[in-house]
């Protein structure tokens, strides 16, 4: 790789006219000089196209009919020339130093560099919360064995990742079945093709708002059923990659992913008749969850205590109380402040 590699920032947009200028401006404001900005509009029906045209030749515009996120990333990748590629969701933004810090972190065998994102609200007001939380260290190095040991690793949403263009050639174009889960497709596949580097500081912002597909503003059984369906797809992809690289697959791998267990328990408790995995039971998922916490998770001792309590609460209480526990776990921005204060005191007490 060149000492000063070209960085491509690919912004994928669908009907985010109210957020799009901030995303584009953040890409154009990078302190690293060797950047190009590509904006892919995925068939928006709002004023996004007019906003994109206003930037003239400062960006490379790509307009297409609606094909979902995976199709937009494929278009942007094909139009880009950079050796390092950021995929930025149009409702998020990057800090000015993001590209510079990523380039300085890059190594010859790097496939992906990921960094923390600060959570902001619809109006762009920052919170004191981050993805992932600052108590969780981002995965680094050759993490294939860790991935197979626990079914996942600590990473960030799409906007918190930068990829090697050359190594992405193994994964692009993104298959159509991952058009709505392209971020998961890249996250799961990345460790099999190169090293992962983690940057602990936050270099961007992740916006939570009503139109965000994944950020929870309300808790519902249908939302968690979608999480479960996507996770089943991701689990199948993980098994596929492991077989391609002749890695051992633990017999109990299905029960080693803490996020997988949480989403299935939430779905089952919120709307049991609609839950997509017929073989699941509350007690089985509770046992899996506590076992996974203490045997396979990388959480520190205070967090294991807190999550054990939450597992027991969600599994054993009536549906209204279960929903409250699920809400406070998955939507921390909806937690009362006294809960956060209590959690801080509890961490201090058991640490």
pLDDT digits (tens, 9 = 90+) for 54-105: 999 999 999 999 999 999 999 999 999 999 999 999 999 999 999 999 999 9
CB 11 within 8 Å of CB 88: yes
- Residues 146 and 351: their CA atoms lie apart, in Å, by 25
pLDDT of residue 335: 64
Q: What is the pLDDT of residues 233-256, one digit of tens each?
A: 989 999 999 999 998 888 898 898
Instruction: Give residue 124's pLDDT band: very low, low, confident or very high (50, 70, 90).
Output: confident
- Residues 164 and 5: their CA atoms lie apart, in Å, by 11
10 has pLDDT over 80: yes
Domain ranges across the chain: 7-207, 221-350
- Residues 272 and 265: their CA atoms lie apart, in Å, by 9
Neighbours of 5 (CB within 10 A): 18
Instruction: Categorise residue 151: left if φ over 0, alpha if ψ from -120 to 50, beta otherwise.
Output: left
Q: What is the pLDDT of residues 274-319, one digit of tens each?
A: 999 999 999 999 999 999 999 988 788 888 988 899 999 999 999 8
Mean pLDDT, residues 170-181: 94
Which is nearest to 7 in space by CA: 41, 37, 31?
37
pLDDT of residue 212: 52
Residue corresponding to tokens 């939430």: 266
H/E run at residue 85: strand 84-89
pLDDT of residue 38: 98
- Residues 69 and 71: their CA atoms lie apart, in Å, by 5
141 has pLDDT over 80: yes
Instruction: Give residue 270's pLDDT band: very low, low, confident or very high (50, 70, 90).
Output: very high
The residue among 229 and 338 whose pLDDT is bigger is 229
Per-chain mean pLDDT for the chain? 90
Q: What is the pLDDT of residues 313-338, one digit of tens each?
A: 999 999 889 988 888 777 766 666 66
pLDDT of residue 348: 61
The CATH code that applies to domain 7-207 is 3.90.550.10
Copy the structure tokens of residue 315.
């599994």
Neighbours of 97 (CB within 10 A): 15
Instruction: Give residue 214's pLDDT band: very low, low, confident or very high (50, 70, 90).
Output: very low
Q: Using N-to-C axis directions, what is the helix angle for 301-316 and 282-295, rounded to 10°? A: 180
Q: What are the helix and strand counts (H, E) for the chain?
A: 13, 9
In degrees and rounded to multiples of 5, residue 74 shows phi and psi of -60, -45
β pairing state of 7-13 and 35-42: parallel
The residue among 218 and 324 whose pLDDT is bigger is 324
Name the pTM for this structure.
0.85
If you ran DSSP here, which 8-state letter would residue 172 be given? P
- Residues 213 and 115: their CA atoms lie apart, in Å, by 21
51 has pLDDT over 50: yes
SS3 call for 220: coil
């Amino acid at each position: 790789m060149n000492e000063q590699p070209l960085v491509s920032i690919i912004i994928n947009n669908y009907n985010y006219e109210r957020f799009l200028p901030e995303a584009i401006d953040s890409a154009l404001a990078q302190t690293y000089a060797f950047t190009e900005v590509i904006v892919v509009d995925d068939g928006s029906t709002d004023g996004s196209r007019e906003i994109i045209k206003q930037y003239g030749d400062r960006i490379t515009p790509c307009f297409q009919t609606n094909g979902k996120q995976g199709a937009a990333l494929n278009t942007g990748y094909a139009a880009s020339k950079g050796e390092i590629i950021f995929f930025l969701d149009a409702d998020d933004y990057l800090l000015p130093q993001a590209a510079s810090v990523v380039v300085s972190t890059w190594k010859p065998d790097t496939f992906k560099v990921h960094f923390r994102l600060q959570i902001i609200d619809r109006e762009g007001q920052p919170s004191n919360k981050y993805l992932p939380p600052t108590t969780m260290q981002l995965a680094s190095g050759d993490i294939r064995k860790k991935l197979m040991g626990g079914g996942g690793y600590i990473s960030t949403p799409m906007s918190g990742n930068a990829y090697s263009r050359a190594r992405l050639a193994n994964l692009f174009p993104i298959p159509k079945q991952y058009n709505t889960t392209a971020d998961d497709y890249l996250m799961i596949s990345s460790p099999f093709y190169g090293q992962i580097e983690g940057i602990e500081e936050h270099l961007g912002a992740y916006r939570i708002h009503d139109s965000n597909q994944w950020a929870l503003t309300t808790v519902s059984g249908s939302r968690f059923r979608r999480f479960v369906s996507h996770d089943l797809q991701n689990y199948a992809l993980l098994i596929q990659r492991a077989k391609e690289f002749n890695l051992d697959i633990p017999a109990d791998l299905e029960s080693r992913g803490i996020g997988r267990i949480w989403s299935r328990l939430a779905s089952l408790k919120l709307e049991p008749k609609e839950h997509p995995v017929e073989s699941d039971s509350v007690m089985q998922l509770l046992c899996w969850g506590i076992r996974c916490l203490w045997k396979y998770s990388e959480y520190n001792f205070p967090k294991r205590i807190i999550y054990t309590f939450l597992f027991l609460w969600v599994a054993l209480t009536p549906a209204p109380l279960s929903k409250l526990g699920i809400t406070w776990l998955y939507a921390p921005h909806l937690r009362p402040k006294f809960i956060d204060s209590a959690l801080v005191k509890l961490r201090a007490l058991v640490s």
